[in-house]
């Protein structure tokens, strides 16, 4: 939680001081003093970057120390309570929570005190932002989509040549919840009971799994947030036997788990030039396909279509997948539908649900509207719509990167190798990369987007986003 505020300090300095100083470095040389103007600005930039690193690092160390105290108290409580109730998964989670917080603090200390190579990470961040601004300016100048007036408006809105570089968008973050008393129209039994008792294994929603009391595989567990009369499996049994005996809601994840994910979306989004304001919404889920999304088609193809199908229905009411793209390749394109779906590029959405049908080895899935080239020569997208789903998973410090990973796909990013990268997927790429150990031990201690990925995101944005949206700076970032 504290990380966000430390990062905000750094972001403010980067946007309002570093980017101004960089403008000055790019100015023309004054030859009479051997480019003293540029050298002076460059020196100021170095000093600002070092100072920014010192301030944010001290802030992070204090924050991590605080987080460790909190983790020892809450994790310690989980361990003790788990031992007394023979709940070994709770003991394990308690240990993992303390271990994660301990690792965070030790990592910070190693990166600053033992070998101060965290400073490299600070310079890398500032240089990459600098290079990205130049790259985007060049893309805008070369794109044939824009008039001269458009170019000026877009550059002003993005903060190119000014301050606060980034595309300002509002991300809608939905968190699903279910209620014990919801009865679908025309039915007499609550939906949760009906779903739980369904004999079809592909349609059944096991309420104990939904509530986090049971799981298929230990490492695929999640920790939903139950509010109300239920605190154990036997409470669920009681409810299933007599639905009016219990009153409760189950949220897909706790407030703190959600905010942690949102903060990481904002922090990492900024590194690729996205300034995301977030609109947090809780949505009551009344369909089992929302609670347990189907992302495994019989033919194993175009699972992204399922993401779009979920988001096209109430309460999200987004556009269905557009014909002529991957989900309906044989049908002709309807230009009006394509434009409606294109406008949604500027309204990114992410939906936190409970589970994925028959395959909780996934923690998220997304759809990318247009095709974008991958760094490794492949391509992603062409799904005919934009959107992302994810579910909560444990441990938190690993799974917290899932929503920003899925959002990365919706901005045209592909999978890469290495757990030091946000876009890694060990299912189809290697977990290992040569930068893995330096990144965690030295540069930042977190997975990153690379500069090349930031460029790919902007290739996608400049090629596809509506001009109105690129030229709009009205979003208030919170």
Task: Work out how close the CB of 82 gets to Zn ion at its nearest, in angstroms, rounded to a whole number.
Answer: 32
Between 307 and 469, name the residue whose CB sits nearer to Zn ion: 307
Task: Work out how close the CB of 303 gets to Zn ion at its nearest, in angstroms, rounded to a whole number.
Answer: 11
Task: Work out how close the CB of 297 gets to Zn ion at its nearest, in angstroms, rounded to a whole number.
Answer: 17
- Residue appearing with tokens 């190798």: 417
Give me 345's structure tokens: 């590029």
- Residue appearing with tokens 């100015």: 27
Helix (H, G, I), strand (E, B) or coil at 163: coil
Between 59 and 402, name the residue whose CB sits nearer to Zn ion: 402
Q: How far apart are CA 435 and CA 414, in angstroms?
A: 18
Give me 266's structure tokens: 């904002």
Between 307 and 327, name the residue whose CB sits nearer to Zn ion: 307
SS3 for 48-114 is HHHHHHHHHHHHHHHHHHHHHHHHHHHHHHHHHHHHHHCCHHHHHHHHHHHHHHHHHHHHHHHHHHH
Between 209 and 392, name the residue whose CB sits nearer to Zn ion: 392
Helix (H, G, I), strand (E, B) or coil at 441: helix
Binding site residues, Zn ion, CB under 5 A: 425
Task: Work out how close the CB of 448 gets to Zn ion at its nearest, in angstroms, rounded to a whole number.
Answer: 16
Between 154 and 389, name the residue whose CB sits nearer to Zn ion: 389
Q: How far apart are CA 106 and CA 111, in angstroms?
A: 9
The residue whose Cβ lies closest to Zn ion is 425
Give yes or no for a contact between 341 and 466, defined as CB atoms under 8 angstroms apart.
no
Task: Work out how close the CB of 390 gets to Zn ion at its nearest, in angstroms, rounded to a whole number.
Answer: 10
Give yes or no for a contact between 78 and 91, defined as CB atoms under 8 angstroms apart.
yes
Between 37 and 425, name the residue whose CB sits nearer to Zn ion: 425
Task: Work out how close the CB of 353 gets to Zn ion at its nearest, in angstroms, rounded to a whole number.
Answer: 16
Task: Work out how close the CB of 427 gets to Zn ion at its nearest, in angstroms, rounded to a whole number.
Answer: 8
Between 239 and 356, name the residue whose CB sits nearer to Zn ion: 356
- Per DSSP, the residues of 169-232 read EEEEEEEEEEETT---TT-SS-HHHHHHT-S-TTT---HHHHTTS--SSGGG----EEEES--S
């Amino acid at each position: 939680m504290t990380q966000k505020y430390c990062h905000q300090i750094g972001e403010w300095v980067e946007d309002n001081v570093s980017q101004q100083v960089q403008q000055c470095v790019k100015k023309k040389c004054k030859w009479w003093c051997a480019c003293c103007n540029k050298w002076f600005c460059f020196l100021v930039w170095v000093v600002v970057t070092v100072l920014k690193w010192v301030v944010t690092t001290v802030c992070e160390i204090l924050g991590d120390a605080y987080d460790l105290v909190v983790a020892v108290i809450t994790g310690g409580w989980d361990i003790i309570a788990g031992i007394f109730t023979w709940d070994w998964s709770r003991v394990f989670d308690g240990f993992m929570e303390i271990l994660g917080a301990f690792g965070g603090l030790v990592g910070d200390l190693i990166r600053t005190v033992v070998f101060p190579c965290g400073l490299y990470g600070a310079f890398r961040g500032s240089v990459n932002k600098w290079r990205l601004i130049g790259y985007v300016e060049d893309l805008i100048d070369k794109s044939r989509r824009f008039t001269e007036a458009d170019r000026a408006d877009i550059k002003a809105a993005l903060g190119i040549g000014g301050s606060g570089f980034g595309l300002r968008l509002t991300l809608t973050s939905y968190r699903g919840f279910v209620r014990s008393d919801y009865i679908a129209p025309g039915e007499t039994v609550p939906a949760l009971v009906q779903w739980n008792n369904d004999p079809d294994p592909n349609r059944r929603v096991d309420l104990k799994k939904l509530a986090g009391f049971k799981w298929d595989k230990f490492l695929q567990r999640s920790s939903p947030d139950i509010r109300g009369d239920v605190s154990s499996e036997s409470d669920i049994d009681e409810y299933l036997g007599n639905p009016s005996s219990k009153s409760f809601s189950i949220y897909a994840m706790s407030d703190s788990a959600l905010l942690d994910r949102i903060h990481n979306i904002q922090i990492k989004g900024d590194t690729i030039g996205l300034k995301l304001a977030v609109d947090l919404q809780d949505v009551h889920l009344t369909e089992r396909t929302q609670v347990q999304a189907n992302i495994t088609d019989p033919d194993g193809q175009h699972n992204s279509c399922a993401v779009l199908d979920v988001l096209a229905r109430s309460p999200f009411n987004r556009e269905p997948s557009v014909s002529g793209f991957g989900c309906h390749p044989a049908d002709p394109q309807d230009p009006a539908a394509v434009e409606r779906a294109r406008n949604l590029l500027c309204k990114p959405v992410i939906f936190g649900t409970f589970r994925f049908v028959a395959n909780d080895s996934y923690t998220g899935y997304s759809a990318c509207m247009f095709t974008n080239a991958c760094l490794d020569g492949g391509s992603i997208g062409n799904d005919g719509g934009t959107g992302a789903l994810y579910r909560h998973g444990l441990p938190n410090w690993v799974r917290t990167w899932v929503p920003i990973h899925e959002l990365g796909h919706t901005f045209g990013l592909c999978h890469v190798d290495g757990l030091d990268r946000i876009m890694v997927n060990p299912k189809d790429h290697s977990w290992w990369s040569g930068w893995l150990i330096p990144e965690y031990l030295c540069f930042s201690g977190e997975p990153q987007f690379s500069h090349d990925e930031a460029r790919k995101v902007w290739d996608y944005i400049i090629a596809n986003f509506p001009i109105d949206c690129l030229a709009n700076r009205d979003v208030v970032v919170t």
